[in-house]
Chain A
Amino acid sequence: MQGISSKQMALGGVALALLIIFPLLVDSSFGQHVMILTFMFAMCGVAWNVMGGYAAMFSFGQVAFFGIGAYASSFLLLTFNISPWIGLVAGGLISALLAAGIGYPCSNLRGHYFAIATIAFAEIIRIVFNNWKLMGAAEGITIPMLKESLANFMFHSSKLPYYYIMLAFLLVSIAVCYWVSTSKMGYYFRAIKESHEIAKVLGVDVVRYRLYAIMISAFLTSMAGTFYAQYILYIDPESVMIMPISVQIVLVAMLGGANTVLGPVIGAAVLIPLSEYSRAWLGYKGTGVDMIVYGTLITIIAMYQPEGVWGSITNLMRRRK
């Protein structure tokens, strides 16, 4: 079972403690920014895992939920002055409903067919938002400046509150993922992963459980989107609805180790700093050298460590026994 062992708990506790004091020690704004993005993608990776790692529903369209979360909360704030925290939940619910709506007709799709359906779905969402005047079309939405406070989910003087909020979100998603993995749902997901037939024989309502997987995943991803909107304070289809984000999420989960709770966290910890720092150091001319490095690295990792970083670590630990 891919839960968390007590040794891992201990390590996790230490890591958590370090993460908590990190921004107090390291004053670099960029460093904190990288960590925030890392937490965000880690959360999306964990969310992806619920459907992709456990139930073998490989989604390459997670950005749709991310974007909808961002837009939902921002639109509600801008137009109706609704608190972003309520917007957070609203966005999550909308995403979950949409996920069910697209998931239901795709109930019999597996593997590549399902993956492409998710891509098609996400692209439709992007094109719609790109042309939807109410949502700002291509210009997007600028989140209105509010007084700095937790209630307003907005902070101007320092990144620290954002850091801790995102970390808290990440912990919530890890808790949800862990709970799923050790519960009836987790077992049923893994039966579905093996084959729809065997799941049915075991009495699993495959359609229903697949919907659970996609809805949970969508809700969590949407939360990350709302956070992003409140953090960056500007969203448009080109920044919150494009496929490279979906790809990044899959990479984070896969390279970290799909099918494990903490794998995506490790994956994000490797990939996000890599892409952010290489962009900062190498990408200044717009030449895309950072992306060349990035592309090369993920290819090499996939070639030589297909189980992901987490997988290699656990393999190493197993061999030491």
Chain B
Amino acid sequence: MNDLPILDVQGVSKYFGGLQANEDVSFHVNKGEIVSIIGPNGAGKSTLFSCVTGFHRLDKGRVLFKGQDISNWKPHSIGKLGVVRTFQIAQVISDMTVLENVMTGAFLRHTNVPDVRRKAEKVLTFTGLFEKRESNATALSISDKKRLEVSMALAMEPELLMLDESMAGLTVVELREMIELIRKVRESGITVVVVEHVMEAVMELSDRVVVLNSGRKIVEGPPKEVVANPEVIRAYLGERYNAVRQ
């Protein structure tokens, strides 16, 4: 059994010109966990994702995946290794159908087109988009687009899935469905890290929560503890955030 955390972020710092987006952020994720990263707007959550997945160069620190140093690796190599991320605004390929989008992801692990198609169909069944597989990707609703993005990621057979605000803009019902989907993903053996604003999802899903504020990690722990932490409350003071959009 693995003692090593599947993801180990050590002292990651990232500057943009004069702005310090991440400062000395350290935390780890164990295999099979669901960890949420929360914090007020501008806390550096998405930047952290980009640093971990190779979209930004680290100015300081390291990122280890299953003990292997992947700091500053190229994004496609990190993807091949088993770490896949999504984006705040769901990125899908617009001149393809839903199925073709997922197939593109599946091509990472298979080369034979029939195999790839079969794999894509399996994934779509898992995420509940099978019925819509022939629709053009741009014709989907926001919630379905997010599910498509997750499907594309799952087709790549990741060990670690990093979701960037997958709950934003969802209705109550859609939120429930997304929470269920993420649970299913974890149950299938994939470790999940989410950046989230929607506290209901955070409370329900997370084994642990990491809180960022102004680029630094301020608290880490089980959800109930973190939410009651006075420092966290202070960080959010004055911040109005929507837990759920009706």
Contact = CB atoms under 8 A, between A and B. Distances in A.
Direct contact of A and B (CB under 8 A): yes
Q: Which size bracket describes the interface of A in this complex? A: 20 to 34
A184 B119 CA distance: 14
A188 B107 CA distance: 9
B105 interface: yes
B96 A202 contact: no
B113 A183 contact: yes
B182 interface: no
Contacts of A203: 76, 79-80, 84, 105, 108, 156
Interface stretch (B30-38, B87-95, B172-180): B87-95
A203 B85 CA distance: 11
Interface stretch (A65-73, A124-132, A191-199): A191-199
Contacts of B152: 202
B93 A194 contact: yes
B111 A184 contact: yes
B105 A202 contact: yes
A201 interface: yes
A187 B76 contact: no
A138 interface: no
B210 interface: no
A251 interface: no
Given A187-B103, A201-B85, A202-B152, A195 B95 contact: no
Contacts of A199: 76
Interface of B: 53-55, 74-77, 79-80, 84-87, 91-96, 100, 103-105, 107-108, 111, 113, 116, 152-153, 156
A202 B95 contact: no
A198 B100 contact: no
Interface string A202-223: 1111100000000000000000
A202 B113 contact: no
B178 to A, nearest CB: 19
Contacts of A205: 74, 76-77
A197 B95 CA distance: 16
B76 A198 contact: no
Given A1-B100, A194-B93, A198-B93, A187 B107 contact: yes
A314 interface: no
A203 B84 CA distance: 9
Interface string A1-12: 100000000000
B80 A197 contact: no
A198 to B, nearest CB: 4
Given A191-B93, A194-B94, A204 B76 contact: yes
B85 A202 contact: no
Contacts of A259: 95
B100 A206 contact: no
Nearest to A195: B91
Contacts of A197: 55, 87, 91
A190 B95 contact: yes
A156 interface: no
A205 to B, nearest CB: 5
Contacts of A200: 54-55, 74-76, 79
Nearest to A209: B76
Contact of B104 (A187, A195, A206): A187
A198 B93 CA distance: 8
B137 to A, nearest CB: 10
Contacts of B75: 200-201
Contacts of B105: 202-203
A202 B100 contact: no
A182 B113 CA distance: 8
Contacts of B53: 201
Query: Which 4 A-B pairs give the minimum distances between C-beta atoms?
Result: A203-B79, A200-B75, A203-B108, A198-B91
